[in-house]
């Protein structure tokens, strides 16, 4: 079936006219395309529409979700667990993003201006993401979930090891990567596709591999 290009363009113009009064991201530039603004504004509407559901789940003992100004939901934000999820200003959440908390005191923080694209979080204490981060379809897990010791692995009385994850400003974590408990990733660093990060990453460093090791410096750092 042939698509009616004229009808689609008319519909797009109508949507742009309806959504025009809505805000744009704080980091907006005058050179951004009309299509990007249309998608962002629709994401802003979806972000507002999701809030009542989040509040209802919180009242029933679910996750406590707080979002900042100009939050845009392009995909799905599926939170589970009793902890808190705190999202800054001008954050975009895309694809299926799952901030799961495993304790009442667990806290996931996502800094302002970040783009979160299908990232999976498993948080028992603290996962803190700095401003302007780019997170792909990666895993950030601050707990082992089970004791490592062979005799304690199935013993529910033994607490697994847990340590906060700290990701500084303007860090890019590529798809398929895993960032494990206790890791601190410095400003401007890049974590390559499929990397497994078990040690701290220096600011401005590019790491790759399993376990992740430095392979280059970020240009301009």
The residues assigned a catalytic role are 146
The DSSP H or E segment spanning 16 is helix 5-19
| Contacting residues for 56 by C-beta, under 8 A, at least 6 apart | none
- DSSP strands (E only) in 25-174: 64-67, 72-73, 76-77, 84-87, 92-94, 96-101, 107-110, 115-117, 120-123, 126-129, 134-135, 139-141, 165-167, 172-173
Establish how many alpha carbons lie within 13 A of residue 98's alpha carbon, considering only the half-sphere containing its beta carbon. Answer: 11
């Amino acid at each position: 079936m042939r698509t009616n290009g004229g009808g689609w363009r008319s519909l797009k113009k109508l949507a742009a006219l309806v959504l025009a009064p809505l805000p744009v991201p704080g980091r907006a530039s005058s050179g951004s395309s009309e299509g990007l603004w249309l998608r962002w504004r629709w994401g802003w509407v979806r972000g507002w529409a999701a809030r009542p559901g989040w509040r209802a789940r919180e009242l029933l003992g679910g996750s406590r979700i707080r979002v900042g100004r100009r939050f845009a939901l392009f995909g799905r934000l599926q939170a589970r667990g009793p902890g808190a999820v705190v999202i800054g200003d001008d954050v975009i959440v895309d694809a299926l993003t799952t901030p799961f908390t495993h304790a009442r005191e667990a806290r996931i923080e996502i800094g302002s201006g970040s783009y979160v694209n299908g990232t999976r979080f498993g948080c028992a204490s603290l996962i803190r993401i700095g401003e302007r981060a780019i997170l792909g379809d990666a895993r950030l897990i601050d707990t082992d979930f089970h004791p490592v010791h062979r005799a304690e692995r199935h013993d529910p009385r033994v607490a697994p090891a847990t340590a906060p994850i700290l990701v500084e400003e303007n860090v890019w974590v590529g798809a398929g990567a895993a960032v494990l408990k206790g890791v601190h990733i410095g400003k401007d660093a890049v974590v390559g596709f499929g990397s497994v990060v078990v040690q701290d990453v220096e600011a401005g460093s590019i790491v790759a591999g399993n376990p992740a090791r430095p392979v280059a410096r970020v240009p301009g750092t």
